[in-house]
Copies of this chain bind each other. A is one copy, B any other.
């Protein structure tokens, strides 16, 4: 490995003065939960209403969708617009910061698609070499 990693990582490297955690836990605490990234990915395609979001994210409950969008709104990653109509109509849309997050999420998806095969193989081999280990 070459001595100097060039490119976009300089900022993170210099910001990493004290610990191994260079703000990484901050991001993961924010989007590492079960539903946030999925909601963000759906909203990356444009404005969505509550019910639309729930249909687009298979398996999410009403409660968890509410909690997820609230937290994303709190962090400034999306906006929530209430139209005082009957029936009520609430629109969710990513902020510019939310859109910047989608680029990160895309990188995650790319990495996953690129390596999921190799990981599946590694897992199977490890499980065969370590029967009954209890590790998941």
Interface residues of A (CB under 8 A from B): 1, 5, 7-9, 11-13, 15-16, 19-28, 30-34, 37-38, 41-42, 56-58, 67, 70-71, 73-76, 97, 99-101, 104-124, 126-127, 130, 133, 135-136
Contacts and interface: CB of A to CB of B under 8 A. Distances in A.
Nearest to A46: B1
Chain copies in the assembled complex? 2
B76 A108 contact: no
Q: Specify the main secondary structure of chain A where it touches its partner.
A: helix
B135 A13 contact: no
A59 to B, nearest CB: 10
A41 B56 contact: no
B27 A124 contact: no
Contacts of A30: 119
A116 B9 contact: yes
B9 A110 contact: yes
19 contacts: A5-B121, A15-B113, A16-B113, A20-B57, A22-B109, A22-B112, A23-B112, A24-B41, A24-B108, A27-B109, A67-B135, A70-B135, A74-B123, A75-B119, A75-B123, A76-B119, A76-B126, A100-B111, A101-B111
Contacts of A70: 133, 135
